[in-house]
């Protein structure tokens, strides 16, 4: 096959091209697919702390919430029906992500985004007009179907559209949209909770129509990626589109590599079975372990239960919602740090720094809650300084996640998969993410009731494990063209035994890069 690019001075392969206004616009629009996921995370925790919502749909929880503060605060939200409301979405997203893999592969990334937006819009309308718990559950399931399609297609779209030098920053636009969605939802919760008559929760849930319309309309105006066009046999259109995306006339090197990758992809009749082949062992491992660890950082406990959590540790409803707004603002700001640094400092540095930061904060928060609540969950009067300390360390924890495991948990899997397994492997990533989001959402309130402050120490343990995993097994992927990613596995001290030279048909055989950071022990 053609050489497919030139070799830069450090031994890495490079393609000509620049960050054009066109590709910047398309990536910004596509990244807004993250708004629906973020909005839901922010809204679900907020409405479940609103007394009017609980009184209508979950009266047993409402009665416990209104009891005297001397009762066990750890257990006031422990309700199977309430956790089903929250977690049913993630089970639906798991199922739809598997279907989305086929749609994304055969019909393109845009169609998956469109389906995601339409389904999410339908779910938002049902939730906004809900009169019974079953309507809430049906609405949540439709929201989950929408999120499954969007989370499967948007990260792939961004990684394929972006020039490799800017792939990290542009892909993290997806995570930035998630954080903005969370923040907007938390701000709206704060104000809607103040509406007299107790119907503000309808606006919170129904407001999900807005981000749904953004991704729906956006998918109609976006072009498909050259990778997807080639995969569906539209070679000339793909080459024309690639010229426009890269802003240069000579794209033959990159185009030839994409065509070669597509031919290898089309020779695979069963991509799901193909994932089990030995040479894809590192990809499958990362597709499973990265989203698995991402959820076990405990971040979703903080983000979609933030108002509930703050209410549990003694804040009033208004104060708990405002504290959630504060953490949401930190989340957005820290994600901007990741956008700035991911292509400068590398993925591994951010993973390890963020892990260290989260570990320290989880230990401090566990100590603070344990000191005031003990094991019986009766804190008495909580001083103002205590609340400030808890919120401060939770914010530092959120910042650590937001510039490490948050964005990189989506970026790294979407950029490491060869084209022939890309859609199937991305579905594995989304599915694992949703499985463990579902499990944690389903059991968190029960775990809080039984483990009490020790719950934060459980998550701290997993942060230690995941940081060790990254240090030993994850190679650096910054600055590597997406269709040449096989090189990082061939030069890794452990994964090289599974991936031998010549196994990637579209890979340039080149010397080991000096800055990939893979020869560590």
At 450 the pLDDT is 75
At 324 the pLDDT is 73
At 371 the pLDDT is 77
- For residue range 272-303, list pLDDT tens digits in order: 788 888 889 999 999 999 999 998 998 866 66
At 76 the pLDDT is 61
Residues 300 and 41: beta-carbon distance below 8 Å: yes
Q: Which residues of 172-200 are buried (b: 16+ CB within 10 A; e: fewer)?
A: bbbbbbbbbbbbbbbbbbbebbeeeeeeb
At 510 the pLDDT is 36
At 514 the pLDDT is 35
Residues 393 and 371: beta-carbon distance below 8 Å: no
pTM above 0.95, yes or no: no
CA distance 61 to 76: 7
Q: Could you give the C-alpha distances from 507 to 5, 15, 233, in angstroms and in order?
A: 11, 13, 21
Provide the CATH number for the domain formed by 21-224+268-498 in this structure: 1.20.1250.20
Closest CA to 297 of 175, 430, 442, 405: 405
Domain boundary assignment for the chain: 21-224+268-498
The CB-side HSE value for 376 (13 A sphere, CA atoms) comes to 6
CA distance 30 to 47: 28
At 264 the pLDDT is 75
Residue 34, judged by CB atoms within 10 A of its CB (0-12, 13-18, 19+), counts as buried
DSSP letters of 148-194? Answer: HHHHHHHHHHHHHHS-GGGHHHHHHHHHHHHHHHHHHHHHHHHHHTT
At 71 the pLDDT is 53
At 210 the pLDDT is 94
Residues 88 and 136: beta-carbon distance below 8 Å: no
At 128 the pLDDT is 93
Report how many helices (DSSP H) and strands (DSSP E) the chain contains, helices first. 24, 2
Helix (H) or strand (E) holding 418: none
Three-state DSSP at 13 gives strand
- For residue range 250-276, list pLDDT tens digits in order: 888 888 888 887 887 777 667 778 888
**Sequence-distant (≥ 6) Cβ neighbours of residue 328 within 8 angstroms:** 42, 179, 182, 183, 185, 186, 187, 303, 306
> Which residues of the chain are under the pLDDT cut of 70?
1-14, 65, 67-78, 268-269, 300-317, 319-321, 373-382, 445, 500-521
């Amino acid at each position: 096959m053609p050489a497919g690019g030139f070799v830069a001075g450090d031994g890495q392969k490079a393609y000509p091209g620049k960050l054009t206004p066109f590709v910047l616009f398309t990536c910004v629009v596509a990244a807004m697919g993250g708004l629906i996921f973020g909005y839901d995370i922010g809204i679900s925790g907020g409405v479940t702390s609103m007394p009017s919502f609980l009184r209508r749909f979950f009266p047993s929880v409402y009665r416990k919430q209104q009891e005297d503060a001397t009762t066990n605060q750890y257990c006031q939200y422990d309700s199977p029906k309430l956790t089903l409301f929250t977690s049913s979405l993630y089970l639906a997203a798991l199922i739809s992500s598997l279907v989305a893999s086929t749609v994304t592969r055969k019909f393109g990334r845009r169609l998956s985004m469109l389906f995601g937006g339409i389904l999410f819009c339908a779910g938002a309308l049902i939730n906004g007009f809900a009169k019974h718990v079953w309507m809430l559950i049906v609405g949540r399931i439709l929201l989950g179907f929408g999120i499954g399609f969007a989370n499967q297609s948007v990260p792939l779209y961004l990684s394929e559209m972006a020039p490799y030098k800017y792939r990290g920053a542009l892909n993290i636009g997806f995570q930035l949209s998630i954080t903005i969605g969370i923040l907007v939802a938390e701000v709206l919760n704060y104000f809607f909770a103040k509406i007299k008559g107790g119907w503000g929760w309808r606006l919170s849930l129904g407001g999900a129509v807005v981000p749904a319309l953004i991704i729906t309309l956006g998918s109609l105006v976006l072009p498909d990626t050259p990778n997807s066009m080639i995969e569906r046999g539209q070679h000339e259109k793909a080459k024309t589109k690639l010229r426009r995306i890269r802003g240069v006339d000579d794209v033959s090197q990159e185009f030839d590599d994409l065509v070669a990758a597509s031919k290898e992809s089309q020779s695979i009749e069963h991509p799901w079975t193909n994932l089990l082949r030995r040479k894809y062992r590192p990809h499958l491992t990362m597709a499973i372990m990265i989203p698995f660890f991402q959820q076990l950082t405990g971040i979703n406990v903080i983000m979609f239960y933030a108002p509930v959590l703050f209410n549990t540790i003694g804040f009033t409803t208004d104060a708990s919602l405002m504290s959630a707004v504060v953490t949401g603002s930190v989340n957005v700001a820290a994600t901007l740090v990741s956008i700035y640094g991911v292509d400068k400092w590398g993925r591994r540095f951010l993973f390890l720094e963020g892990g260290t930061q989260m570990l320290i904060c989880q230990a401090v928060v566990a100590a603070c809650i344990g000191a005031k609540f003990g094991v019986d969950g009766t804190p008495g009067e909580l001083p103002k300084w205590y609340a400030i300390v808890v919120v401060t360390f939770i914010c530092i924890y959120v910042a650590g996640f937001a510039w490490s495991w948050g964005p990189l948990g989506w970026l790294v899997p979407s950029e490491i998969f060869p084209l022939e397994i890309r859609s199937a492997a991305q579905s594995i990533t989304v599915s694992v993410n949703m499985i463990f989001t579902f499990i944690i959402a389903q059991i968190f309130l029960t775990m809080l009731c039984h483990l009490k402050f020790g719950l934060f120490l459980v998550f701290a343990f997993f942060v230690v494990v995941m940081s060790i995993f990254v240090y030993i097994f994850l190679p650096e992927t910054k600055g590597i063209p997406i269709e040449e990613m096989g090189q990082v596995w061939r030069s890794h001290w452990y994964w090289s035994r599974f991936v031998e030279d010549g196994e990637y048909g579209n890979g340039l055989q080149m010397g080991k890069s000096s800055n990939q950071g893979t020869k560590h022990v």
